[in-house]
Chains A and B, each alone.
Chain A
């Protein structure tokens, strides 16, 4: 065993002696704070040394880039060969307005698209549904039918640009609309690259844009995984997301543990569907948050890669390295932004983006400074994109792979992250798995507790938030905001009515009837959804049919 170890035994003994001596010397010295901890609340040492990573085995625990357990990187050349994809989450108002924003971002050097949908779309209603009052275009673009999707991607080369879509409850339907929009341009589905979020588990845990109860929802996820595996080799069928878990208040540790636990559940789901692990797991991707606590975040990403690789290989018996690769998108933490002195958000976002890059992200969204108040203005989003470009081209951090690897502190934190996650896995297993734990409110309670603690720390000033509880200024924020995102509502509604008028309504009713019948059985619903989409059935109609068959989810209320 000793031959594995990085440090000489005699040297460690001497270091131990010296460290103990210094600890005694500084023991009485008053610190600036009563305690020093990570963002997750775990104590930090004054200094990290080889003693903290004495049991680390380079080959077992780290490995070269692109070598198991992939702690350091999944690609051998890191960012030398290719930078991360600069993918800004965007969408508001009508399909026309969001199409213009997409083109604006691409013209400024963005390299991938990411679509935000409004709440009506996210939970499967047409814009004119009574439930959707007031939501049009507010948190994203409104997509009520294939016609809107065609306009959204008008003039955008869907076979060249990859597109990520933040859609969960109605993921299969929105995906089908994207596929048919490309089909109408003559682009076959096999050539489409991109991602649907399609992570329904974290909807019950945090983001709450679910529609149906867990069981039928997971059936839809299995349908999409199976369909993607068979027909769309370049598509990421699930983007297993910690982002929203974190935004809801979870710590970095909880984000890591809950997200990976969700990931394992999808692996089991695909296998239960009869797919081979190496067939579909390479197309599962991840989506993490990146908050302010720099080293903890870097450690989180490294630990995530290692845990995923180990579990996929050891527990799920993958033979293909690609199945073990944890590929991830990162978004800087929306919940870290402040309305007070909004320009400061540029600095927060820069620190977070740097941590994501040093953590080896494959794709990145940087928040705009105005996002505690509104959807981003053009200028704010350009600065956010430029932040990534400056990190990529000016900072020099992209030249070597995993430059923080080997830092005593980062390696120690990476180990701690893995241990903490494994402790949560045991807890979740003991509750009967992720779905049972959701039904019992386990995740929801854990997250609510962390959110409350975070707020208390701010109110007691134990946690300093610049411009909010310290360094406060009376000056009102003075940056122009994007306003009136709903001004195109009538245009959208007119189009929706036109679609309903001009389509072949017999074909709509035939495809919806077939969808309803199939939903009652166990056939894969994707082909039927594609047919209904081609007939211009609306989102609300398709989700309505599935609501009838599947029922609707009601949350377990926890405060």
Chain B
């Protein structure tokens, strides 16, 4: 079993919530990524489909996750992502790393980043890169300040 997901500092596995906000049923990407993160040693909780932003915030809180990964392919991201980001902040989860993926036009990327989503993985993204990004970001965040 790979221990690659363990944080060298704290010795606990990175916990990730993979979430599908909105109504779209395209879960191929979310499931592939959930498995890739798990095989990279992370703890992954997958919400399943049709989650409201409020349900996702609640799940992040209950599951005490380090990372929230949002997947949307319907185009509803500009309406739903901000509600998740604000919800996480208002529940005191500002430390949670937020990443997202799906059919997200290039022009929306800077807006989403400014909002607090650390990375947007667009069509053609490799799971290896997603794993690498999450690990590097978590290592960065856990470094003593």
Please tell me if B101 contacts chain A, counting CB pairs below 8 Å: no
Tell me whether A455 and B74 are in contact (CB under 8 A).
no
- Least CB distance from A89 to B in Å reads 15
Tell me whether B31 and A134 are in contact (CB under 8 A).
no
Please tell me if A373 contacts chain B, counting CB pairs below 8 Å: yes
On whether A559 and B23 interact (CB within 8 A), knowing A248-B28, A455-B32, the answer reads no
Q: Mark A277-305, 1 if CB is under 8 A from B, else 0.
A: 00000000000000000000000000000
Q: How large is the interface on A (under 10, 10 to 19, 20 to 34, 35 or more residues)?
A: 35 or more
Tell me whether A135 and B49 are in contact (CB under 8 A).
no
Q: Mark A519-559, 1 if CB is under 8 A from B, else 0.
A: 00000000000000000000000000000000000110111
Please tell me if B27 contacts chain A, counting CB pairs below 8 Å: yes
Which residue from B36, B74, B126, B127 sits with its C-beta under 8 Å from A139?
Answer: B74
CB-nearest residue of chain B to A209: B25
Tell me whether B31 and A119 are in contact (CB under 8 A).
no
Q: Mark B98-135, 1 if CB is under 8 A from A, else 0.
A: 00000101100000000000000011101110000000
Please tell me if A180 contacts chain B, counting CB pairs below 8 Å: no
Which residues in B have their C-beta under 8 angstroms from that of A339?
A: 122-124
Please tell me if B79 contacts chain A, counting CB pairs below 8 Å: yes
Q: Mark B54-89, 1 if CB is under 8 A from A, else 0.
A: 000000000000000000001111111001000000
- Least CB distance from B130 to A in Å reads 11
- Least CB distance from A505 to B in Å reads 28
On whether A459 and B127 interact (CB within 8 A), knowing A119-B23, A476-B106, the answer reads yes
CB-nearest residue of chain B to A469: B126
How many residues of chain B have a CB within 8 Å of chain A?
37
Which residues in A have their C-beta under 8 angstroms from that of B105?
A: 373-374, 481, 483
Please tell me if A452 contacts chain B, counting CB pairs below 8 Å: yes
Tell me whether B123 and A338 are in contact (CB under 8 A).
yes
Tell me whether B75 and A131 are in contact (CB under 8 A).
no
Which residues in B have their C-beta under 8 angstroms from that of A554?
A: 48
Most B-side CB within 10 Å, residue of A338, A339, A476: A339
CB-nearest residue of chain A to B82: A134
Please tell me if B22 contacts chain A, counting CB pairs below 8 Å: yes
Tell me whether B28 and A372 are in contact (CB under 8 A).
no
Q: Mark A116-142, 1 if CB is under 8 A from B, else 0.
A: 000110110100001111110011000
Which residue from B18, B23, B80 sits with its C-beta under 8 Å from A122?
Answer: B23
- Least CB distance from A97 to B in Å reads 15
Please tell me if B34 contacts chain A, counting CB pairs below 8 Å: yes
Tell me whether B46 and A559 are in contact (CB under 8 A).
yes
Interface positions of A from 82 to 139, Cβ below 8 Å from B:
119-120, 122-123, 125, 130-135, 138-139
Q: Once bound together, how far apart are the Cα atoms of A552 and B76, in whole Å?
A: 23
- Least CB distance from A344 to B in Å reads 12
Most B-side CB within 10 Å, residue of A335, A373, A374: A373
- Least CB distance from A324 to B in Å reads 32
Q: Mind listing 12 A-B residue pairs with CB under 8 Å?
A: A131-B52, A132-B23, A133-B80, A134-B75, A134-B76, A335-B28, A340-B124, A373-B123, A374-B105, A451-B31, A452-B32, A458-B126
Instruction: Spell out B's residues near A (CB within 8 Å).
Output: 18, 22-25, 27-28, 31-32, 34-36, 38, 44, 46-50, 52, 74-80, 83, 103, 105-106, 122-124, 126-128
